[in-house]
Structure 1
Amino acid sequence: MSYEITGKLVARFDTVQRSENFKTREFVIEKTDSGNGKTFTSFIKFQCVQDKTTMPDRFNIGDEVKIQFNIKGSKWEKDGRTNYITNLDAWRMESIKLGQDNGHEVNYNDIPPADVVDDLPF
């Protein structure tokens, strides 16, 4: 199952080579929600793996982004102790550019380029 969230990119960490064939990279977004007259801010850390580790490089700190991700969990046992790890594995990241159009927010990613011709018969 895939999930989606939007927020502001606030941190981007170096790629870590975990083994000869496996690398990861983490980044953090800031998500702000309001309710009952209060504002709540969360900092959510995501992980990218393998060829997705370069994905955060396309964005600047402070950019509004939309993240598509999967939730992965694993069980880890060592020295008789059991630990559970949850990762938010990001697999897509895109820019959210908001503007105003007659008082309404506009996501410019949803607007086709001017040179696109709509030749559908309906």
Structure 2
Amino acid sequence: MEVTGRVERIYDTQNVTSSFKKREFVLEYADNPQYPEFIKMEFVQDKCGLLDDVKEGQEVTVGINLRGRKYEKDGETRFFNTINAWKIDKGESTQRDTDIQNFEERKAPVSTGEDSDDLPF
């Protein structure tokens, strides 16, 4: 699954145990721009470094997996979810596509010679 949005916040890497680390970030997801959602996600282990080149405010597309766990304590069952990110596209290709589209819109139309009535002479 992928989700696209603007990076709101990037947190430092946390060493949860000696063998497990995670790095959380918040993505502003504006499927409906009037009511944006702020979704906290995390990279784990060797994927934490994928956020090193990402800046807050940057548009990105994130590959995610939804994770859910069941936790039992003192006879009570609880459930919790995490959004585990595994890739991030910083949008270079999206910006390139936008630049090409803007260039195409600025180009003058090419005359095929069929509409000679449009000529000023």
TM-score normalized by the length of structure 1: 0.73
Q: Does 1:60 align with 2:58?
A: no
Q: Give 1:50 shift.
A: 0.4
Q: Is 1:78 aligned to 2:70, yes or no? A: no
Q: Which has the larger radius of gyration?
A: 2
Runs of 4+ more than 6 Å apart: none
Q: CA deviation at 1:33?
A: 2.2
- In structure 1, what residue type is equivalent to 2:30? T
One of 4, 7, 10 as aligned partner of 2:5: 7
Q: How many residues align?
A: 98
Task: Note the C-alpha offset of 1:17.
Answer: 1.3
Unaligned segments of structure 1, at least 5 residues: 104-122
Q: 1:22 aligns with which of 4, 20, 23?
A: 20
Give the CA RMSD over aligned residues: 1.5
Q: Pick the structure with more strand per residue.
A: 1
Once the two structures are superposed, residues 10-35 of structure 1 have per-residue CA deviations (whole angstroms, 9 ceiling, x without a partner) of: 1111211111111111101101123x
Higher helix share: 2
Gaps of 5+ in 2: 106-121
Give percent identity, aligned residues only: 35
